A and B are shown apart, each in its own frame.
Chain A
Amino acid sequence: MSTLVAQSITRVFGRFTAVDHISFEVGEGEVFGILGPNGAGKTTTIKVLTTLLPLTSGTATVAGFDVTQQPAQVRAVIGYVPQLISADPLVTGYDNLRVFARLYQVPRAERDARIESALEFMGLSEFARTPVKYYSGGMIRRLEIAQALLHRPRILFLDEPTVGLDPVARDAVWGQIERLREEFRTSVVLTTHYMEEADRLCDRLAIMHRGRIVASGPPSSLKADMGTPGATLEDVFAHFAGEGLDTGVGFRETQRTRRTAIRLE
């Protein structure tokens, strides 16, 4: 059974359709990527799947629970790292995790061990007692992933996990996502507009454009389907969306992405 099944999901804001009847499935231990330019509807897709936004129409189940009918059960089995920075700079890494360990009802006796192993897994043990305002961008992202893993979710949603990170920090995050799949068979849904990220991490990919999935499949077959030897994902994207990645960027989207990037510096 697929860990996630989305059937014709749609989200409308006023008269604007941000997510337009898209369907996809994500299997156990699979890393599924949603690749698209700013404003494509990636974040909106993640928000409806994580119960933050009600669906306008369509259905989605996560680990068998319906996101509209059983939001509480869905929340218990998912982990989520938002596009914006979600670690609190005022407290330590440890305290950032402590509150969530309790919200997720990790048994009291196990809490400390669980927090420590999550920090360890993300390579942050040394910095557990440091206030997050002294963390680098890469460390903050890793802390956020650590937090999202505390309750051993069946599926992890990562919204642009490496935006604003330098290549070294980006590589570290990629490595950890790969380990997660290997060691725990956690399913991952990630959004990105980095071709390289999509290529390296994702078992399957959906190319999203203006609220629709315009192509999907493993990166290798998407490229092979182009018929031109040496085709890149960039070419695939240009083919399906009819334009490059750098179009359709409004003020609001740019401001939001930049805000994330600035805070990560």
Chain B
Amino acid sequence: MAATPSVPAVGLGRRLATQLDRTFAIVDYEVRKLRRDPSELLLRAVQPALWLLVFGEVFTEVHVIPTGNLTYLQFLAPGVLSQSVLFIAIFYGIASIRERELGIIYKFLVSPASRISLVTGKALSASVRGLSQATIVYLLAIALGVHPSLDPLDILGVLVAVVLGASLFATLSMIIASLVKTQERFLGIGQLLTMPLFFASSAIYPISIMPTWLRPIAYANPLTYLVDAVRKLMIPASTSVFPLAVDFAVLLGATIVLILVESRLYPRMAQ
């Protein structure tokens, strides 16, 4: 048998650049798909609007939730923003299932793109949806007199937090999709997960009023860190639970770990 052909020695930097370019090829492709049907994004904006208008206004009136120096609506707006990011990302895995049921996933997996760059590309695509949600909630907040910070650095911080949060939850969603493989089971688990993640976070009430048994869960919940970062950046007068650096470190760390896990699981979708 002939000797194995030698593989051209390519520097690490060059290889990374190649894989990064592939990641953005996926993002570009997903955004093109989204642009063909933007109606979904508009429909998705209804829910956060209802939370702010109905829930927010009612609880502002009744003063049952202690929010310190903030109005309840000021406290709630960052929570609703984070929640809408969670909701749009947590069902993202349905796209993997659809791609498996068609045969699209096979072609991605036989391409020379590394599994990590494929998964990262998908995760970042989800964050494009998250960003559109964040924009809508931000505008709503302004309209409702919440006075969110308009400082460019704060806004940039919110955007980065949203990209991380959306990537994190989208990757979690893809992991579930890779494990259960069918739409029915996936939707069941997705629904099962969403509400606990939402209620065991500081999205609509502070951790300080939670029953003690719930607090450890809130601290283990990535949504808490997203809410915490977004709240501090959006409403600088608020008091945060953790320093911003901790919030971002947790979001980034968890996203990386989940992406690594999913890059191992994703190829199993083709088996």
Contact = CB atoms under 8 A, between A and B. Distances in A.
A80 B106 contact: yes
B5 interface: yes
Nearest to B29: A99
Interface of A: 1, 5, 47, 50-53, 61, 63-66, 70, 72-73, 75-76, 78, 80, 82-91, 95, 98-100, 102-105, 131, 147-148, 263
A25 to B, nearest CB: 11
Interface of B is mostly: helix
B18 A105 contact: yes
B63 interface: no
Contacts of B215: none
A52 B267 contact: yes
Contacts of B113: 103
Contacts of B1: 5, 61
Contacts of A86: 102-104, 106-107
Interface residues of B, number: 32
Nearest to B267: A52
Nearest to A99: B29
B2 interface: yes
B245 interface: no
A103 B22 contact: yes
B104 A90 contact: no
Interface of B: 1-2, 4-5, 7, 18, 21-22, 25-26, 28-29, 32-33, 36-37, 101-104, 106-114, 267, 270-271
> Which 8 pairs of residues, A with B, have the shortest CB-CB distance?
A84-B103, A102-B25, A86-B103, A82-B103, A99-B29, A82-B106, A76-B112, A75-B112
Given A65-B4, A104-B112, A80 B270 contact: no
Contacts of A61: 1
Given A64-B2, A80-B106, A102-B22, A88 B111 contact: no
A100 B107 contact: yes
Given A82-B103, A88-B102, 13 more contacts: A50-B110, A52-B270, A53-B271, A64-B2, A72-B112, A82-B107, A84-B103, A86-B104, A88-B33, A91-B29, A102-B22, A105-B112, A131-B36
B111 A104 contact: yes
A103 B117 CA distance: 10
Contacts of A90: 33, 36-37
A1 B5 CA distance: 12
Given A66-B4, A102-B25, A80 B110 contact: yes
Contacts of B108: 103
